[in-house]
Chains A and B, each alone.
Chain A
Amino acid sequence: MLLYVHVPFCRAKCAYCAFASQPLDASDIEPYLEGLAAEAAHFSRALFRPAMDTVFIGGGTPSLLPDWALERLVSTLRRHFELPKGIEFTLEANPDSADLPKLGALRELGVNRLSLGVQSLNDRTLALLGRPHTAAQAVAAVSAARLAGFKNLSLDFIWGLPGMRPAAWLKQLKTVVEELKPEHLSCYNLTLEPGTPLAAAADAGSLPLPSDDEDARSFLYGSRFLSERGYLHYEISNFARMGFACRHNQGYWQGRDYLGLGPSAVSTIDHIRRENPKTLTSWLSSIDASRFDSHTETLDPATRLREYVMLSLRTSRGLSLAAYRSLAGRPFTTGRAAMLKVLREHNLIRLTKDTLRLTADGMLVSNTIISRLLDADLPQD
């Protein structure tokens, strides 16, 4: 089982962000930790103190929490769950809250994988995104992480940002690979989430966003460049040096069970998906009322099959035809032969006798491809 903990606090809301987060108010920390303890205790009892294979503390900005709070959070987790030695233990941090003392403290707590939200190495772009840090701070945070002893460092970047043409993206990737040398990179295409300031600016036409063709080149050239430099493109938005693919996230794409704690966190255990209330207040009142399953969804076999198709095709490992067959009771090619042929002719997929994978070109239009492939698994009206 995978363990995810959501820390809902940020210094400020970024202009593109639609995640559940709120400005950190010192008085919120205590109730949050208490809520988390109650929730962890509940699931520890319900699941017989399960052993976790990975821990991922995300947000929000977990690194914003003061050391004492992080310490309590981790000890809560250790009290209620089995966290074997050596498991992947990730924490998300922002460059402005990742100085050497803080990072040293995290190491002490057992965090062995740091995910730094760098997003861009251009200060004007960072300002436009509403990020509370500069590129120099990001570079300093990377050095500090190394000094603190992190040997598994992941950096988050966004491509397709305003004014970012393929050449600029490649140049930045080159700097990242040659100077920051992370073990892992997450490169997310800018997603304009409705309701965010950035989406509003885009609607107003005031952002010099690259065209789809330019974005496509950024992705394809970037993927090729990173591969040449030894990063495996193991999921649509993720690249890793050998042995450093994120085990926690791979677990999601493999359909493993995961327990999520904290506001807006989601769990999927034994085919039941449970979603926590989104805001800190609503989550706390649920916990106070001992309601731990206010929003649940049962995943029937057909839904599980569709999720398997959707998630496995995001990864370089791809969809196992044998696994599909045992889940669906029929070969994957049934009803899809013509479509697969065309997708192959257009270099969008690779199909071997065991596996179906998307090519980099295919990943770029993966929503269309996957939805097309899912049709055959959807009921006819």
Chain B
Amino acid sequence: MDHIRNFSIIAHIDHGKSTLADRILGLTGLVTARDQREQYLDRMDIERERGITIKAQSVRIPYKARDGKTYILNLIDTPGHVDFSYEVSRSLAACEGALLVVDATQGVEAQTLANVYLALDNDLEIIPVLNKIDLPSSDVARVKLEIEEAIGLDCAKAVPVSAKTGENVDEVLERIVTDLPPPRGDPDKPLKALIFDSWYDSYQGVVVLFRIFDGRVRRGQKIMMYSSKAVFEVSKLGVFSPDAKDVSDLGAGEVGFLCATMKNLQDARVGDTITDPLKPTTDPFPGFKKVKPMVFSGLYPVEPAEYEPLKIALEKLQLNDSAFTYEPEVSRALGFGFRCGFLGLLHMEIIQERLEREFQAKLIVTAPSVIYRVETTKGEVFDIDNPSKLPEPQAIASLAEPYAKLEIHVPNEYIGGVLKLCEERRGLQKDMRYLTSTRVIITYEVPFAEVVYDFFDKLKSTTRGYASMDYEIIDFRPSNLVKLDILINGEPVDALSTIVHKDKAPYIGRNLALRLKREIPRQLYEVVVQAAIGNKIIARERTPPLRKDVTAKCYGGDITRKRKLLEKQKEGKKRMKKMGNVEIPQEAFLAALKAGEE
């Protein structure tokens, strides 16, 4: 076990985590120049395009150190976004150490800090790595000071590198061997392994990534999931190095993958403990929880005929993403579709993008909603994930909404803008402290609905991109909330209903009506958009009918071209939904998302 090092790389987005991983794979000869590609460990197209990691990966790297011995370095690549903080925490729990990559031109950011805290919670040894020293704007001394002040991490032995040029990356490898502890564990104790990721592969079935703490696992052996007590037989056991290699057994301290007779991803939940059904461990890995989606939105096929294909696509997607949920729902406006649950907004965008890309599903997505907790006058308490499920106002005793604790890192010249934004979003200031003389951490408790509605984009524009943010959901609090309905030519459009704070309702109603008016193209008839709370109309916008759309000349030489023009108009209508006489483009359904803005 002394020759094993399990580590991960933690960093704020864009600080160079994937580049450093690429460089390590290249330097150790694991990935030859021929196979080299950027973000080697990110397997999905979306990951590479967006420059983020969504799924965890592990790779086993043989490394001949300067002491002449060969070590096995297991790099566990973690997802890099706040929506996936539980997955990150499980990946970190599988390691003894972590490289903390900080961009030496930027300094400590919100996710740096959030990830460091997760690493410290898991008792990880941390090696600070200051990246991008090839850039003239890098300031190693300042950033070292910032890390020491902000995190209390000794930076005397921090390694300055350029992952881009490869400068000093060999030193990082050496320090992994010398500074990170080898795994501890007892190969003779009952099997205890932590699942830190799992996915569905159409050939292999469920693939489980795990780290063994005690005991051994062999191909053909029976294993048991601690939480469900379900028993499976290991049909395939292996390591990624970087391609899958079969092995017959793995012992304490090692990282690998297995396939067993599992049918679906729910059989192998991230954070669960794998043990031996004959000799179960008495000491399962702590902190297992089922992740719950926090943001919900409706996904509807543009063409009704696409309902079944969409359902199949959602099923397939869920095989790979147990945090994502869906159930059928019916909207009067949009027809048959699905209510889908996501960890956060990024997760939602990713799922939407994957559906459109991998499954070619054309979608209409309704404005995201959080969960609301309803207490009725009869004393029932239940949660709703869709504004249209809200009972009539007279039946509601109280309504509560989730609150999130936000930590925002920002240069001090933007404090004013951030405070203003947080106050506008009904936030309660909890703390504000200086990280350094110029950088501040602002802590707020903000209704999560306000965060979902475009908060992050707003924060970025207010601070010219200098702010970074981390959040966690803390609790539900009663609020003065009302349901805002939208009527188009007198017909309520359920898919456009939102739950908003009463004080903001008139403003949001006016804004939403105006945005809809702008989004809905002129039609053959007048279109009237109204916003209403209960029976009270709070805003009205009118689009006059289309007045002129005529082809002046259509003689023998024009017929083909004119016909094609008229046929082509159908293309443009594909993403429209018909509501009575009115055709509503899908953008309109997202207008609600931005209605809170000026």
Taking Cβ atoms with an 8 Å cutoff, the residues of A that contact B are 2, 4, 188-191, 212-213, 215-216, 219, 236-237, 249, 252-253, 258, 260, 264-268, 273, 275, 297, 303, 306-307, 310-311, 314, 342-343, 346, 348, 363-372, 374-375, 378, 380-381
New contact pairs (17) apart from A4-B557, A260-B557, CB-CB < 8 Å: A189-B552, A213-B547, A215-B547, A249-B555, A253-B554, A264-B557, A267-B556, A306-B567, A307-B559, A310-B559, A311-B559, A364-B547, A364-B549, A365-B546, A365-B547, A367-B569, A375-B573
**What is the bound-complex CA distance between A354 and B569, given in angstroms?**
28
Instruction: State the Cβ distance, A349 to closest chain B Cβ, in Å.
Output: 10
Which of chain A's residues has its CB closest to B548's CB?
A: A212
For residue B303, which residues in chain A have a CB less than 8 angstroms away from its CB?
Answer: 380-381
**What is the bound-complex CA distance between A248 and B567, given in angstroms?**
26
**What is the bound-complex CA distance between A267 and B560, given in angstroms?**
11
**What is the bound-complex CA distance between A273 and B565, given in angstroms?**
17
Question: Judging by beta carbons under 8 Å apart, are B556 and A310 in contact?
Answer: no
Task: For A348, give its contact among B524, B548, B559 (CB under 8 Å).
Answer: B524
Task: For B563, give its contact among A310, A368, A369 (CB under 8 Å).
Answer: A310
**What is the bound-complex CA distance between A97 and B147, given in angstroms?**
87
Task: For A370, give its contact among B525, B556, B559, B566 (CB under 8 Å).
Answer: B566
Question: Judging by beta carbons under 8 Å apart, are B524 and A371 in contact?
Answer: no
B438 at the interface (CB under 8 A from A): no
The 7 A-B residue pairs whose C-beta atoms are closest, nearest first, are A371-B569, A188-B552, A216-B547, A266-B557, A212-B547, A371-B566, A367-B549
Range class of the B interface residue count: 20 to 34
* Majority secondary structure, B binding face: loop
Q: How many residue pairs, one in A and one in B, have C-beta atoms under 8 Å apart?
A: 111
**What is the bound-complex CA distance between A372 and B569, given in angstroms?**
9
For residue A188, which residues in chain B have a CB less than 8 angstroms away from its CB?
Answer: 552-553
Question: Judging by beta carbons under 8 Å apart, are A371 and B547 in contact?
Answer: no
Known: A371-B566, A371-B567. Is A366-B556 also a contact (CB below 8 A)? no
Question: Judging by beta carbons under 8 Å apart, are A191 and B553 in contact?
Answer: yes
Known: A346-B524, A365-B546, A367-B550. Is A260-B566 also a contact (CB below 8 A)? no
Known: A265-B557, A342-B525, A378-B570. Is A365-B549 also a contact (CB below 8 A)? yes
For residue B559, which residues in chain A have a CB less than 8 angstroms away from its CB?
Answer: 252, 266, 268, 273, 307, 310-311
**What is the bound-complex CA distance between A66 and B549, given in angstroms?**
40
Question: Judging by beta carbons under 8 Å apart, are A310 and B562 in contact?
Answer: yes
Task: For A237, give its contact among B305, B553, B570, B573 (CB under 8 Å).
Answer: B553
11 contacts between A and B (CB under 8 A): A189-B552, A191-B551, A212-B547, A260-B556, A266-B557, A273-B560, A365-B546, A365-B548, A365-B550, A367-B566, A368-B546
Which of chain B's residues has its CB closest to A264's CB?
A: B557
**What is the bound-complex CA distance between A249 and B305, given in angstroms?**
42
Question: Judging by beta carbons under 8 Å apart, are A374 and B552 in contact?
Answer: no
For residue B554, which residues in chain A have a CB less than 8 angstroms away from its CB?
Answer: 236, 252-253, 310-311, 314
Question: Judging by beta carbons under 8 Å apart, are B567 and A258 in contact?
Answer: no
Which of chain A's residues has its CB closest to B580's CB?
A: A342
Question: Judging by beta carbons under 8 Å apart, are A378 and B556 in contact?
Answer: no
**What is the bound-complex CA distance between A342 and B545, given in angstroms?**
13
Which of chain B's residues has its CB closest to A211's CB?
A: B547
Contact with A along B558-594 (1 / 0, CB 8 A): 0110110111011001000000010000000000000
Question: Judging by beta carbons under 8 Å apart, are B556 and A266 in contact?
Answer: yes
Could you say which of B303, B552, B557, B573 has the most chain A C-beta atoms within 10 Å of its C-beta?
Answer: B557
Which of chain A's residues has its CB closest to B553's CB?
A: A188
Which of chain B's residues has its CB closest to A373's CB?
A: B566
Question: Judging by beta carbons under 8 Å apart, are A237 and B552 in contact?
Answer: yes
Instruction: State the Cβ distance, A303 to closest chain B Cβ, in Å.
Output: 7
**What is the bound-complex CA distance between A260 and B549, given in angstroms?**
29
**What is the bound-complex CA distance between A190 and B550, given in angstroms?**
10
**What is the bound-complex CA distance between A258 and B558, given in angstroms?**
13
For residue A374, which residues in chain B have a CB less than 8 angstroms away from its CB?
Answer: 566-567, 570
Instruction: State the Cβ distance, B569 to closest chain A Cβ, in Å.
Output: 4
Instruction: State the Cβ distance, A61 to closest chain B Cβ, in Å.
Output: 16
Instruction: State the Cβ distance, B114 to closest chain A Cβ, in Å.
Output: 45
For residue B525, which residues in chain A have a CB less than 8 angstroms away from its CB?
Answer: 342, 346
**What is the bound-complex CA distance between A381 and B573, given in angstroms?**
12
**What is the bound-complex CA distance between A32 and B522, given in angstroms?**
47
Known: A189-B552, A236-B552, A273-B560. Is A378-B567 also a contact (CB below 8 A)? yes
For residue A307, which residues in chain B have a CB less than 8 angstroms away from its CB?
Answer: 559, 563
For residue B566, which residues in chain A have a CB less than 8 angstroms away from its CB?
Answer: 310, 367, 370-371, 374
Question: Judging by beta carbons under 8 Å apart, are B553 and A268 in contact?
Answer: no
Which of chain B's residues has its CB closest to A216's CB?
A: B547
For residue B550, which residues in chain A have a CB less than 8 angstroms away from its CB?
Answer: 189, 236, 363-367
For residue A381, which residues in chain B have a CB less than 8 angstroms away from its CB?
Answer: 303
**What is the bound-complex CA distance between A363 and B551, given in angstroms?**
9
For residue A237, which residues in chain B have a CB less than 8 angstroms away from its CB?
Answer: 552-553
**What is the bound-complex CA distance between A147 and B203, given in angstroms?**
89
**What is the bound-complex CA distance between A215 and B553, given in angstroms?**
16
**What is the bound-complex CA distance between A303 and B563, given in angstroms?**
9
Which of chain A's residues has its CB closest to B583's CB?
A: A372
Question: Judging by beta carbons under 8 Å apart, are A268 and B556 in contact?
Answer: yes
For residue A249, which residues in chain B have a CB less than 8 angstroms away from its CB?
Answer: 555
For residue B305, which residues in chain A have a CB less than 8 angstroms away from its CB?
Answer: 380
Instruction: State the Cβ distance, B570 to closest chain A Cβ, in Å.
Output: 6
Question: Judging by beta carbons under 8 Å apart, are B551 and A366 in contact?
Answer: yes
Which of chain B's residues has its CB closest to A341's CB?
A: B581
For residue B547, which residues in chain A have a CB less than 8 angstroms away from its CB?
Answer: 212-213, 215-216, 364-365
**What is the bound-complex CA distance between A189 and B554, given in angstroms?**
12
For residue B573, which residues in chain A have a CB less than 8 angstroms away from its CB?
Answer: 375
Question: Judging by beta carbons under 8 Å apart, are A215 and B548 in contact?
Answer: yes
For residue B570, which residues in chain A have a CB less than 8 angstroms away from its CB?
Answer: 371, 374-375, 378
Instruction: State the Cβ distance, A215 to closest chain B Cβ, in Å.
Output: 5
**What is the bound-complex CA distance between A189 and B552, given in angstroms?**
6
Question: Judging by beta carbons under 8 Å apart, are B557 and A306 in contact?
Answer: no
For residue B549, which residues in chain A have a CB less than 8 angstroms away from its CB?
Answer: 364-368
**What is the bound-complex CA distance between A4 and B562, given in angstroms?**
19
Which of chain A's residues has its CB closest to B554's CB?
A: A314
**What is the bound-complex CA distance between A371 and B549, given in angstroms?**
11
For residue A348, which residues in chain B have a CB less than 8 angstroms away from its CB?
Answer: 524
Could you say which of B545, B548, B556, B563 has the most chain A C-beta atoms within 10 Å of its C-beta?
Answer: B556
For residue A310, which residues in chain B have a CB less than 8 angstroms away from its CB?
Answer: 554, 559, 562-563, 566
Within 8 A of A (CB), among B154-188: none
Known: A307-B563, A381-B303. Is A367-B556 also a contact (CB below 8 A)? no
Instruction: State the Cβ distance, A359 to closest chain B Cβ, in Å.
Output: 12
For residue A365, which residues in chain B have a CB less than 8 angstroms away from its CB?
Answer: 524, 546-550
For residue A368, which residues in chain B have a CB less than 8 angstroms away from its CB?
Answer: 524, 546, 549, 569
Instruction: State the Cβ distance, A352 to closest chain B Cβ, in Å.
Output: 21
Known: A4-B556, A268-B556, A273-B560. Is A369-B524 also a contact (CB below 8 A)? yes
Known: A268-B556, A375-B570. Is A342-B551 also a contact (CB below 8 A)? no
Which of chain A's residues has its CB closest to B306's CB?
A: A381
Instruction: State the Cβ distance, A199 to closest chain B Cβ, in Å.
Output: 14
Task: For B524, give its contact among A268, A343, A375 (CB under 8 Å).
Answer: A343
Instruction: State the Cβ distance, A274 to closest chain B Cβ, in Å.
Output: 11
Instruction: State the Cβ distance, A270 to closest chain B Cβ, in Å.
Output: 15
**What is the bound-complex CA distance between A303 and B556, given in angstroms?**
15
**What is the bound-complex CA distance between A366 and B563, given in angstroms?**
13
Which of chain A's residues has its CB closest to B557's CB?
A: A266
Question: Judging by beta carbons under 8 Å apart, are A342 and B563 in contact?
Answer: no
For residue A369, which residues in chain B have a CB less than 8 angstroms away from its CB?
Answer: 524
**What is the bound-complex CA distance between A260 and B567, given in angstroms?**
25
Instruction: State the Cβ distance, B583 to closest chain A Cβ, in Å.
Output: 9
For residue A252, which residues in chain B have a CB less than 8 angstroms away from its CB?
Answer: 554-556, 559
**What is the bound-complex CA distance between A374 and B562, given in angstroms?**
13
**What is the bound-complex CA distance between A348 and B549, given in angstroms?**
13
**What is the bound-complex CA distance between A205 and B158, given in angstroms?**
61
**What is the bound-complex CA distance between A236 and B547, given in angstroms?**
15
**What is the bound-complex CA distance between A310 and B562, given in angstroms?**
9
Contact with A along B264-295 (1 / 0, CB 8 A): 00000000000000000000000000000000
For residue A253, which residues in chain B have a CB less than 8 angstroms away from its CB?
Answer: 554
Instruction: State the Cβ distance, A276 to closest chain B Cβ, in Å.
Output: 9
